Amino acid sequence: MSNCENQYLYVPRTARILEIEELTDKEKRFLLKFDNGTEIGPGEFVAVYAPGIGEAPISLCSSPFDKETFEIAVRRIDPPEGRHDEAYVQTLMNVTTYIHTKKVGDTLDIRGPFGREFPVHELKGKNIAVIVGGIGLFPGVRPLREIAKTREDFKKVFVLFGTRSPAERYFPRLLDEWTESKIFDVREAYERLANGEKGGFVTGVLDAIEGCKPEDTAVYIVGPSVMFKPVMATLEKYNLFDENVYFSLERQMRCCVGRCGHCRINDVLTCVDGPVFSLKEIKDRRLWEAL
Amino acid sequence: MKKESCFIIRREVLFDWVETLMKEEKILAPVETDDGKFAFEFLNKAEEIRLNYDTTNLPPTQKIFMPQDEKVITWKKVDGKTVFGPGDGPTPMVVFGMHPYDIHAIKVWDDVMGEKRNALADPQYLAQREVTAVIGLDVIVPPPNSFCESLGTHIATENYDIMLTDLFDGRYFVEVATHRGMSLFLSVSDFDDATPNDHKLRRLVREEIATRYPETLPVPIGELHEFLEKRIHHPYFDVTGELCVACAKCTFVCPTCTCCNIKEEPALDGQSGCRVRECDSCQLPGFTKMAGGVIARKSPGARVRHRILDKFDYHHGCAASCVGCGRCVRACPADIADPIKALNLLRDEEVPHE
């Protein structure tokens, strides 16, 4: 490996944890900074490496404006229930439980960022609707935090968020802040309400964009793949332009550098060419496996 | 091709030459295995080479560029900090006797991992490519089930340093294509310059062998893309998917399959470890399993379709990434991997039945 300039592809950089916020009992937000002082480049996600355990791609949730520091939010996936003795849990440690054991001042080994993000800058002067399902809020807040900094460059901005229950709002502080300041039009839908009654899905709050002209309205749909079809069906009546409808597509990624082939959608690589694709790209490049 | 870089050597001299090369280089060449098949192995002595091999079970490309359990990076804990080290370095080697269809496969590897990917080019691949010399050998016995002629992969035009052709009179035609090839050829003890007649003889041999490929692609290569685009919902895929046992052999034996997995291998002390690369296959159900358990290509039919489209529709810098070697046909236990059979059945409008 002597003459390999791009050996860094697989070698992580060390990042120090500056701040940890408990979002819910299962999700934490980490503020990080690279030890060697390098900037964080553009990209949608990073690969967090847990020595001896493995590696996982994790979405960035900080604004692309921040170059010095960056944030990731991670849901802890617990080992199967039944046994809780420490040795057993240790052997079943995964990358998310590993990250959750970290404290402020500890370090994480990180590759990236990788991927192409939602092109906020190309959409200035438009109405923006970020349609989010559940944990999709982690990558979903990335463009929103950037829009918040240059709010006057955009027309109406909607945050249309559907989640399982009011307890799973993931970024309650941000959502409340945006709701109160009215900087964004925030609408939330809960599958199950606080009192246990049946609520609604994110498709129920999409009518917020009623009246927005298709030519200057862009939507960014980010969430589990099951929500894409119902959301598209509901949006149909607004006649949005294909080039203004963006999806953040999820696929399994092992190498994050377009090499392993796991994240292929037809002939494109989600980790390099995506994960954010416009509907126009999906149609033009005939990525019928995408949705 | 300049005339002065074409030579003629006798068969006995060829083996002497390999013997000489072996003093300096590791030679990967086709040898006969215990069960009478052929495999690319590092040579112990020159006589082991089988110049008349039809094909090998496993392609040489994986053996060269994706050795099993290749270390990508290594790490160890030093004072509580993780320190990363380099992975496995390249193995300098001369690949002797690679058939043209396997040489064509290198083009696909270049496209997926090589310099065309710019900043994302795989460093270990580039390093290995750099130190690998290819001495090609024109096919004498076309492999069973092969259809290289109709894909144009029966003659290599690039990615080799030297190309050998058996002239069937105890002599070999040697085309030296690169400087590296010339430096390898310099150790030949006895050779003649190729005469115009020898060039003619080589052409005749190649033309004769080209007619002996047992299969032909049923769809012209230029029409494959359009042909398959129209048939992505063809019932063939689901019907075939039902028969697939998901053993992934068709991809493991394919010279142009580059998909891999990168997994963690910690040492027992927990203080060091490495990340290793291993073969993976899109035909395995878990290949596209995401966090939360959703599988992108869930139905077996979708996986069968992905393989056929990957080989004949998606462009990896070539007209088709299938090189027509027929290895998958012989490897498949369910007898459904044959691309020729697949394209024939796809051509029919009706649901195929056995």
Q: Where are the domains of chain A?
A: 7-114, 120-248
Mind listing the pLDDT tens digit for each residue in B322-342? 999 999 999 999 999 999 999
Report the alpha-carbon distance of residue B87 to residue B47 in Å, rounded: 34
Chain mean position to CA A118: 10
| Residues of chain B with C-beta less than 8 angstroms from the C-beta of A288 | 232
Mean pLDDT, 10 residues at a time, chain A of 291 residues: 51 92 90 88 89 90 88 85 62 84 90 89 90 91 90 91 89 90 90 85 86 90 90 90 92 87 88 90 86 80
Question: How many residues belong to chain A?
Answer: 291
Report the alpha-carbon distance of residue A252 to residue A263 in Å, rounded: 5
- Give pLDDT, residue A2: 34
A120-248 has which CATH code? Answer: 3.40.50.80
Number of H helices and E strands in chain A, helices first, is 7, 14
Report the alpha-carbon distance of residue A136 to residue A168 in Å, rounded: 12
CA distance A201 to chain B (A): 19
**How many CB pairs lie under 8 A apart between chains A and B?**
122
The confidence band for B177, taking pLDDT boundaries of 50, 70 and 90, is: very high
Q: Which region, left, alpha or beta, applies to residue A231 given φ > 0 means left and ψ of -120 to 50 means alpha?
A: alpha
Based on its alpha-carbon atoms, the radius of gyration of chain A, rounded to whole angstroms, reads 19
Alpha-carbon distances, residue A113 vs A104, A116, A143, A264, B108 (angstroms): 22, 9, 15, 19, 27
ipTM of this complex? 0.84
CA distance B273 to chain A (A): 6
Whose tokens are 């294909």? That residue is A242
Three-state DSSP class for B98?
strand
The two three-digit tokens of residue A199, written as one number: 């609520």
Amino acid identity, position B283: Q
Q: Decide if A170 contacts A137 (C-beta within 8 A).
A: yes
Whose tokens are 């005939």? That residue is A286
The confidence band for B118, taking pLDDT boundaries of 50, 70 and 90, is: low
Q: Decide if B52 contacts B140 (C-beta within 8 A).
A: yes
Which among A6, A12, A51 is the nearest to B123, CB-wise?
A: A6
Three-state DSSP class for B181?
helix
Which among B89, B262, B266 is the nearest to A254, CB-wise?
A: B262
Domain parsing of chain B, residue ranges? 3-67+89-210, 221-261+279-346
The confidence band for B208, taking pLDDT boundaries of 50, 70 and 90, is: very high
Cross-chain Cβ contact A52/B273 below 8 Å: yes
CA distance B127 to chain A (A): 7
Based on its alpha-carbon atoms, the radius of gyration of chain B, rounded to whole angstroms, reads 22
Chain mean position to CA B80: 43
Three-state DSSP class for B32?
strand
Report the mean per-residue pLDDT for chain B.
89
Residue B1 has pLDDT above 50, yes or no: no
Q: Which region, left, alpha or beta, applies to residue A170 given φ > 0 means left and ψ of -120 to 50 means alpha?
A: left
The two three-digit tokens of residue B97, written as one number: 């006797």
Nearest chain B residue to A269 by CA distance is B112
- Percent of chain B as helix, strand, coil, to the nearest 5: 40, 20, 40
Q: Mean per-residue pLDDT for B120-137?
A: 90
Rounded (5°) CA angle B229-B153-A261: 55
| Residues of chain B with C-beta less than 8 angstroms from the C-beta of A7 | 86, 123
- Give pLDDT, residue B202: 93
Residues 6 or more apart whose CB falls under 8 angstroms from that of A7 comprise A1, B86, B123
Three-state DSSP class for B59?
coil
Q: Decide if A123 contacts A218 (C-beta within 8 A).
A: yes
- Mutate which of A2, A5, A7 to disrupt the B interface (most B C-beta within 10 Å)? A7
- Mutate which of A2, A8, A9 to disrupt the B interface (most B C-beta within 10 Å)? A9
Chain mean position to CA B20: 27
Residues 6 or more apart whose CB falls under 8 angstroms from that of B79 comprise none
Rounded (5°) CA angle A194-A198-A201: 100
Whose tokens are 């503020």? That residue is A31
| Residues of chain B with C-beta less than 8 angstroms from the C-beta of A105 | none
Q: Which residues of A touch B (CB under 8 A)?
A: 1-7, 9-12, 14, 51-56, 77, 107, 109, 224-226, 250-252, 254-255, 257-262, 264-267, 272, 286, 288-289
CA neighbor of B48 nearest in space, from B67, B29, B35, B20: B29
Report the alpha-carbon distance of residue A232 to residue B180 in Å, rounded: 57
Q: Which region, left, alpha or beta, applies to residue A27 given φ > 0 means left and ψ of -120 to 50 means alpha?
A: beta
Which among A9, A55, A252 is the nearest to B123, CB-wise?
A: A9
- Give pLDDT, residue B39: 93
Mind listing the pLDDT tens digit for each residue in B3-25? 458 999 999 999 999 999 999 89
A7-114 has which CATH code? Answer: 2.40.30.10
What is the enclosing helix (H) or strand (E) of A56?
strand A54-59
Beta strands in chain B (DSSP E): 6-10, 27-32, 38-42, 70-78, 81-86, 93-98, 132-137, 162-166, 171-176, 192-193, 260-266, 272-279
End-to-end CA distance of chain B: 49
| Residues of chain B with C-beta less than 8 angstroms from the C-beta of A252 | 287-291, 296
Indicate the pairing of strand A268-269 with strand B192-193: unpaired
Three-state DSSP class for B344?
helix
Three-state DSSP class for B193?
strand
CA distance A205 to chain B (A): 25
- Give pLDDT, residue A8: 66
